[in-house]
Structure 1
């Protein structure tokens, strides 16, 4: 009795899945030799990217960024603080990156690294002027509490987290505040009539003036291949990961490398930078369409 076509197809799928698990590197290199990624992408293509704004109603600004299956939700809550003595006219950013253990078995090592890189990138690129967050010199300023939650981790976590943060800042509205009877600054949350006898500190809600936007692209370097926007499976197999961060003017903000026994060769770095520039154009278009 012959085997049905559906049974043959099922058996073929089982064989492919077994090969993928038992010989993962061989499985990937077979696809690479045919100029394809296992998910069907051409070698140099990033995954489809979606950005949505204002999904967290309790936040002053929020955004969801999805790159392939990797999904990040960023929310910003504004809090009034006393500025530092050394910078009496500046506010600050407090960033927390949240990644539940179900997302990755390496969460304890991955999450702090991503959090530090995000803070360094946002501050070093001069995304906006911290003086804009000043309310009363030496007495009150805004602290932007940026929380980024990883909802799904399928590779290129830093890229998705940074994109969600940038989009959340573009969605941010600085709330109204007034001086209460005790001379303390309080947020205006109700009807204006409740605060009409109090001295207003700012007259209307406003957006931050964003001066410089950072964009990033993570690439895998494997033999003679450069693979942008890797999945978690690809990251777990390949040796060298490179992340390039560029600003709005295509100037390099930072460069991160992990894995590999030696520094990536210069021609590969140049190719990664060129891919990052092309990716930045795509992301600018996505943010511009929001």
Structure 2
């Protein structure tokens, strides 16, 4: 930082020095960052390979069947799931369905204008749907109620409350946490043969049959986690902020599952990659990040289970 202050105007410190550093940062953002990169550190004091602190709070929306509030740095996502009974398709009579929508309201970023949908929202919606489907994290048969007649339709909505970089990573983590927290309601067949929700003790109801007496939560397998890295010259920056993403344009997002299998690799833009060593390093950083996120998620779920007991 001292080198930056010297370039900015020569004054060593104080309020004027801080103002000059901020002015230099705004006028010349890339040189400002590159001076930090020379010392293998970022302006927020993070090492290049380190992600920001992450927190998960499951059950954040009491009216939802499953929900989670996830924060990585200043990037914040709220995921909520609502279940509705539907008729399954003829092609998959023993399966339910999962629909994912990603939302970016104007409050999340100055770049999102009121009255106009964010261009990134449908892109991330499809990317999230593809990753969750490809990872086979959930078995849609667990959402079946009566073969060929009734199944659960799970609507997973993810709201970006603050967009400060690595949106896909935080959105995916919030989706995973909400699905892990999902409580499948008890339902039964009434005397007219309709599926209705059961509240309280199902044995006291005058319904004909409890359909899903033993199902309470989904069985999650090969859970996907991701890490976005920025490649700039010979540097690799893990978990970039929005400012870093705006000035360095070669992002790579690696998705690994909890079994250490590669689910997907995204490179939406930037320069062509010729060095496989850079991709290998991104995968290695993602592998380490997966271990961190699994521990954070397990701790959040265990804490919620203890509160419910």
1:214-248 C-alpha deviation (Å, 9 max, x unpaired)? 00000000000000000000000001000000011
Structure 2 residue aligned with 1:255: 265
Structure 2 residue aligned with 1:84: 89
SS at match of 1:108: coil
* Alpha-carbon distance change, 271 to 198 in structure 1, aligned in 2, over 3 angstroms: same
Structure 1 residues 42-191: aligned runs within 5 Å? 42-104=47-109, 105=111, 108-189=118-199
Kindly state the Cα deviation for residue 194 of structure 1 after the two structures are TM-superposed. Answer: 6.6
Kindly state the Cα deviation for residue 179 of structure 1 after the two structures are TM-superposed. Answer: 1.4
Separation of aligned partners in 2, 1:197 and 1:79: 19
Stretches (4+) displaced over 6 A:
none
Separation of aligned partners in 1, 2:65 and 2:214: 14
Separation of aligned partners in 2, 1:76 and 1:194: 28
Q: 1:23 aligns with which of 20, 28, 38?
A: 28
Separation of aligned partners in 1, 2:94 and 2:298: 31
| Aligned residues between the structures | 284
Kindly state the Cα deviation for residue 129 of structure 1 after the two structures are TM-superposed. Answer: 1.0
Kindly state the Cα deviation for residue 264 of structure 1 after the two structures are TM-superposed. Answer: 5.1
SS at match of 1:102: helix
Gaps of 5+ in 1: 1-7
Which TM-score applies when normalising by structure 2? 0.88
SS at match of 1:58: coil
Q: CA RMSD in A?
A: 1.6
Kindly state the Cα deviation for residue 191 of structure 1 after the two structures are TM-superposed. Answer: 5.8
Gaps of 5+ in 2: 1-12, 301-309
Q: Is residue 239 of structure 2 the alignment partner of residue 234 of structure 1?
A: no
Report if the CA contact (8 A) 1:178-1:195 is conserved.
no
Separation of aligned partners in 2, 1:243 and 1:192: 46
Separation of aligned partners in 2, 1:78 and 1:136: 15
Report if the CA contact (8 A) 1:96-1:115 is conserved.
yes
